[in-house]
Chains A and B, each alone.
Chain A
């Protein structure tokens, strides 16, 4: 088996609103290797979330192809577990433990005693064993996000798809969650495709960064950020990469129209 896990080839994504046909991304190519922390970075409106949804199988590309392990993606499936930005992705009628167990039960990927052990282990791993039998409405935002990540990881998907998972958290919790994700990655070595609009988060989380331009989303660059993490914030290397991305995103000289957007 090759190291290439996910292959996105010339993908154009379009969706319809009641009045318009919107082109979200235009002929985007990229390759995700096994064990990558692959970050898709871009301003709002660059179609990065739509791209992730397409990888998740929630929409089909108008042009091009998405392949995982060489198989064409046509529908959602448990080999590509998604973690969403919203907290309401958890089932309010199930406890933390039941939420984590649910995908394993539904997909029958693991026999039920093994599923129970795995669920307990992963709840433990994200530090929520005290809250095992608590319903989601009693958890804080950060805890809900941890449950969502635990739920996705317990199933051992081929790739974990994360759609700005920390964007709705406060700054302190976000930082803690980023650290946690990295330490989980160090322990388990899964593959993750991570979407964000924050340059700093992209550098800290990512091993590879795909920079997209906006309206419609097109590939601007693919950069390496494997060496940089939280400890590098403030170091010159970090600043250089950050500035480079900033220029790629916002510099008009490269033929992009000014977005007038300051959020990065």
Chain B
């Protein structure tokens, strides 16, 4: 660096200054509410609806072009069958049967998951047991347990409930454990600082702090359960009168009534959409979104 001295630019003198503030009233309100149009475009429900309508239009156009009701009925024909079966109560009966079984299985699955995770939080052994069990059973498809369930519980609701519990339990337990582990140490300490211990500590600190993860587990558990249930109903019609929505689809296939198959599938999808975008959305809006834990 000795042969060429550092090039230091000559300092141009710059005057210091102080000025009065520029008048900013020209932009109007500094904070302005969005217009109605802007809010419509940003609305999630509106966006979802637009996507739905788009899909329906594609379906209708393709089915008309194909013109084969046995392979691919049009949207309008499916809707006719759908509304007919809703009106005569068949589809509603089937759906209620399915949802009742689902509710029992889901509730029992959650209760078991709560017991297992509390046990796992309480002791090192418990946590080892739970992680072993989830590693073993989580990858096991619930449907694969159906034959075993049939041997144990026979043809009927208990078998279905058993496979649903299996599909809910591990997903929820696994996510809850992951959530508990990621609760910040400072938050744990501020809970213990006020003397919280045991079940109260889990309920008042760990559960709300891990709620984003628990909610994800609940969602996965729900989807697994619903899927498993419909599939299990397809495999065996419990009895013609008390079958669920899977049985409704299976029967329609036997009659080569494709429009009814479609309307059954439509019902499965609609229920899925409802649970996801109404029930779970509402829970999210009142919890993790409100608390700023999730965007």
Pick from A58, A77, A138: contact of B292, CB below 8 A.
A138
Separation in Å of the A102 CB from the closest CB of chain B?
Answer: 7
Tell me the complex Cα distance, A56–B194, Å: 11
Asked, given contacts A84-B186, A88-B186, whether A137 binds B292 with beta carbons under 8 Å apart, the answer is: yes
Most A CB atoms within 10 A — which of B186, B187, B290?
A: B186
Separation in Å of the B289 CB from the closest CB of chain A?
Answer: 10
Is A89 in contact with chain B by the CB < 8 A criterion? yes
Let me know if B204 and A88 touch, CB within 8 A.
Answer: no
Residues on the B chain within 8 Å of A155, using CB: 194
Number of residue pairs A-B, CB distance < 8 angstroms = 66
Separation in Å of the B198 CB from the closest CB of chain A?
Answer: 13
Residues on the A chain within 8 Å of B204, using CB: 106
A101-122: which have CB < 8 Å to B? 102-103, 106-107
- The residue in chain B whose Cβ has the minimal distance to the Cβ of A102 is B194
Let me know if A78 and B190 touch, CB within 8 A.
Answer: no
B153-187: which have CB < 8 Å to A? 184, 186-187
Let me know if A76 and B186 touch, CB within 8 A.
Answer: no
Is B248 in contact with chain A by the CB < 8 A criterion? no
Is A82 in contact with chain B by the CB < 8 A criterion? yes
Let me know if B291 and A92 touch, CB within 8 A.
Answer: yes
Pick from A80, A84, A93: contact of B287, CB below 8 A.
A93
Most A CB atoms within 10 A — which of B193, B195, B287?
A: B193
Let me know if A93 and B196 touch, CB within 8 A.
Answer: no
Tell me the complex Cα distance, A84–B190, Å: 8
Is B208 in contact with chain A by the CB < 8 A criterion? yes
Let me know if A91 and B187 touch, CB within 8 A.
Answer: yes
Is A199 in contact with chain B by the CB < 8 A criterion? no
Tell me the complex Cα distance, A76–B190, Å: 9
Pick from B192, B292, B293: contact of A76, CB below 8 A.
B192
Tell me the complex Cα distance, A56–B290, Å: 32
Let me know if A88 and B187 touch, CB within 8 A.
Answer: yes
Is A81 in contact with chain B by the CB < 8 A criterion? yes
Is A86 in contact with chain B by the CB < 8 A criterion? yes
Tell me the complex Cα distance, A152–B196, Å: 15
- The residue in chain B whose Cβ has the minimal distance to the Cβ of A88 is B184
- The residue in chain B whose Cβ has the minimal distance to the Cβ of A85 is B186
Let me know if A76 and B195 touch, CB within 8 A.
Answer: yes
Is B102 in contact with chain A by the CB < 8 A criterion? no
Is B106 in contact with chain A by the CB < 8 A criterion? no
Residues on the B chain within 8 Å of A82, using CB: 189-190, 193
Tell me the complex Cα distance, A181–B291, Å: 28
- The residue in chain A whose Cβ has the minimal distance to the Cβ of B187 is A88
Tell me the complex Cα distance, A81–B205, Å: 17
- Interface mask (B205-246 → A, CB under 8 Å = 1, otherwise 0): 100110100000000000000000000000000000000000
Residues on the A chain within 8 Å of B186, using CB: 84, 86, 88-89
Residues on the B chain within 8 Å of A136, using CB: 292
Residues on the B chain within 8 Å of A137, using CB: 291-293
Asked, given contacts A91-B209, A92-B291, A135-B290, whether A84 binds B194 with beta carbons under 8 Å apart, the answer is: no
Let me know if A76 and B187 touch, CB within 8 A.
Answer: no
- The residue in chain B whose Cβ has the minimal distance to the Cβ of A92 is B291
Let me know if B192 and A58 touch, CB within 8 A.
Answer: yes
Residues on the B chain within 8 Å of A107, using CB: 194-195
Tell me the complex Cα distance, A107–B193, Å: 10
Asked, given contacts A86-B184, A88-B186, whether A76 binds B290 with beta carbons under 8 Å apart, the answer is: no
Residues on the B chain within 8 Å of A78, using CB: 193-195
Residues on the A chain within 8 Å of B195, using CB: 76-78, 106-107
Tell me the complex Cα distance, A12–B124, Å: 28
Pick from B189, B190, B193, B291: contact of A93, CB below 8 A.
B291
Residues on the B chain within 8 Å of A91, using CB: 187, 190, 205, 208-209
Let me know if A76 and B193 touch, CB within 8 A.
Answer: yes
- Interface mask (B23-38 → A, CB under 8 Å = 1, otherwise 0): 0000000000000000
Tell me the complex Cα distance, A219–B265, Å: 75
Residues on the B chain within 8 Å of A58, using CB: 189, 192
Residues on the B chain within 8 Å of A106, using CB: 194-196, 200, 204
Separation in Å of the B181 CB from the closest CB of chain A?
Answer: 15
Separation in Å of the A10 CB from the closest CB of chain B?
Answer: 25
Most B CB atoms within 10 A — which of A81, A86, A92, A138?
A: A92
Q: Measuring CB to CB, which residues of chain B are less than 8 angstroms from any residue of chain A?
A: 184, 186-187, 189-190, 192-196, 200, 204-205, 208-209, 211, 287, 290-293
Closest 5 CB pairs of A and B: A137-B292, A103-B194, A86-B186, A93-B208, A92-B291
Other contacts beyond A77-B195, A92-B292: 7, CB < 8 A: A58-B189, A78-B195, A89-B189, A106-B196, A107-B195, A135-B292, A138-B292
Between-chain CB contacts (< 8 Å), 18 pairs: A56-B189, A58-B192, A76-B192, A76-B195, A81-B193, A81-B194, A82-B193, A86-B184, A86-B186, A90-B190, A91-B205, A91-B208, A92-B291, A106-B194, A106-B204, A137-B292, A137-B293, A155-B194
